[in-house]
Amino acid sequence: MTLAQQGDRRPVRWLSWFVSDDPPGRIPLNIFMLAILLVLAFAPFLFPGTKALGVSARICIFVILVASYDLMLGYTGIVSFAHTMFFGIGAYGVAIMLAKGWVGWGAVVLGATAGAAVAAVIAALIGMLSLRLRAIFFSMITLAIASFAQIVAEQWRNLTGGEDGLTFSVPAILRPSFHLFAKPVLGITVNGPVITYYIAFAVALILFLIMLRVVNSPLGLVLRAIRENEFRVEAMGYQVVAYRTLVCVLSAVMAALAGALMALVLRYNGPDVTLSFSLMIDILLMVVIGGMGSLYGAVIGSIVVVLAEYYLQNVLASISAAIVGMPVMSALFHPDRWLLWLGIIFVLIVTFLPQGIFGRLRSRR
């Protein structure tokens, strides 16, 4: 605050506007989060290779997906299991448009818009359900609706390609064969997938900042109040159902846009990649590991879980290679046990850091 006392607050105030006056925390934590932002911004150059690019893109997309889920779970206290459904709807929107032979940006934009619109309508209907249902029944109904969506995607083969999914061509500049520059930049060929990554990164950053604005807006305060004491919110003149519905819609639209990005990145979409229940579990893991009720937690959670999913096997492989002589131990560290280790990490975090990794970092004095 010494800066403020000197009357030289303008640049700080302006920067702060971007994060809606809600920076991650104190200066070291702000620097840490800024470093993450920079690493993601230069990921294609820092970590060359197709796999690393895929992992980085997945992190960006999951930041949107997890942050939007946290709007409901952590901020408003709504437990929904239908979030992957909205992700899938967005992905199918783009996939169906492109797979049906219309290759171009028009198809991408139309597909993403249509996906977001369908997601919004379904979310509005689900949100209104919360008018009459107790929380637990609401959650169960979202689970049923999500399973139904999965069945529809698997059975409606003409449209969705069934269990095989849809493979399609993306616009020319997003294809691997497209090179933006004749020569490599910093040793990296800026090809279609790199451009796709930057689209995902930019969209994720913008949507994240929008969500950060929402939670720090007057409406965001009402959402947190609903989580705390919805009865009192009503007595203050706010119609709780309207807010629940609104947050469901907003969250669903964000998830659908994340899905659209996923389709562009993978150039494929099927029920396993965007609709499966294990994806829903991943989202829950990320929210809890990162920290519920703080959007920055979504960033940490996405990074930790996605990296674990992709690299834990490699880490285990090198550990078990190093201790190959010890019979029980090497079996325990066998790469196939990665899910077990992920589970252990999860249990440890929930036990020792109930407010999640980011929540813990933020509350440090």
Partner 1 sequence: MTGDVPALSTRDLTIRFGGQIAVNAVTCAFHRGTLTAIVGPNGAGKTTYFNLISGQLTPTYGSISLFGKDITRMGAPHRTRLGLGRAFQLINLYPSLTVFENVRLAVQSVAQIRFDFLSIAARDSQVRQQTQHWLDRVKLGPRANLIAAALSHGDQRKLEVAILLALEPQVLMFDEPTAGMSLDEIPTILDLIEEIKQETHKTVLLVEHRMDVVTRLADRIIVLQDGMLIADGAPAEVVALPVVQQAYLGVQQNAAAHGEALQ
Residues of this chain that interact with partner 1 (CB under 8 A) are 17, 20-21, 213-214, 216-222, 224-225, 228-229, 231-240, 242, 246, 250
CB of 68 vs partner 1, minimal distance in Å: 14
Cβ proximity to partner 1: between 19 and 260 the closer is 19
Please choose, from the candidates 271, 306, 260, the residue with its C-alpha nearest in 3D space to the C-alpha of residue 285: 306
Cβ proximity to partner 1: between 3 and 323 the closer is 3
CB of 100 vs partner 1, minimal distance in Å: 35
Measured between alpha carbons, how far is 206 from 211 in angstroms, rounded to an integer?
9
Cβ proximity to partner 1: between 17 and 156 the closer is 17
Please give the torsion angle defined by the CA atoms of residues 176, 178, 180 and 184, in that order, rounded to the nearest 10 degrees.
60
Cβ proximity to partner 1: between 93 and 220 the closer is 220
Cβ proximity to partner 1: between 220 and 271 the closer is 220
CB of 67 vs partner 1, minimal distance in Å: 15
Cβ proximity to partner 1: between 97 and 233 the closer is 233
Please choose, from the candidates 103, 33, 84, 39, the residue with its C-alpha nearest in 3D space to the C-alpha of residue 262: 84
Please state, in angstroms and as integers, the Cα–Cα distance from residue 136 to each residue in 22, 104, 132, 141, 173, following that order. 32, 44, 12, 9, 47
Measured between alpha carbons, how far is 344 from 338 in angstroms, rounded to an integer?
10
Cβ proximity to partner 1: between 240 and 317 the closer is 240
CB of 18 vs partner 1, minimal distance in Å: 11
CB of 221 vs partner 1, minimal distance in Å: 6
**Element of type H or E holding 210:** helix 192-215
Measured between alpha carbons, how far is 57 from 201 in angstroms, rounded to an integer?
7
CB of 216 vs partner 1, minimal distance in Å: 6
Cβ proximity to partner 1: between 229 and 314 the closer is 229
Measured between alpha carbons, how far is 356 from 132 in angstroms, rounded to an integer?
32
Cβ proximity to partner 1: between 32 and 238 the closer is 238
* CB-count burial class (<10 Å; 0-12, 13-18, 19+) for 32: middle
User: φ, ψ for residue 269 (rounded to 5)?
Assistant: -150, 140
The DSSP bridge pattern shows strands 268-269 and 166-167 to be antiparallel
CB of 231 vs partner 1, minimal distance in Å: 7
- For the chain, what's the residue count? 365
Residue 179 identity (one-letter amino acid) = H
CB of 124 vs partner 1, minimal distance in Å: 14
CB of 223 vs partner 1, minimal distance in Å: 9
Secondary structure (DSSP) of 224-277: HHHHHHHHHHHHTT--HHHHHHHHHHHHHHHHHHHHHHHHHHHTEE-HHHHT-H
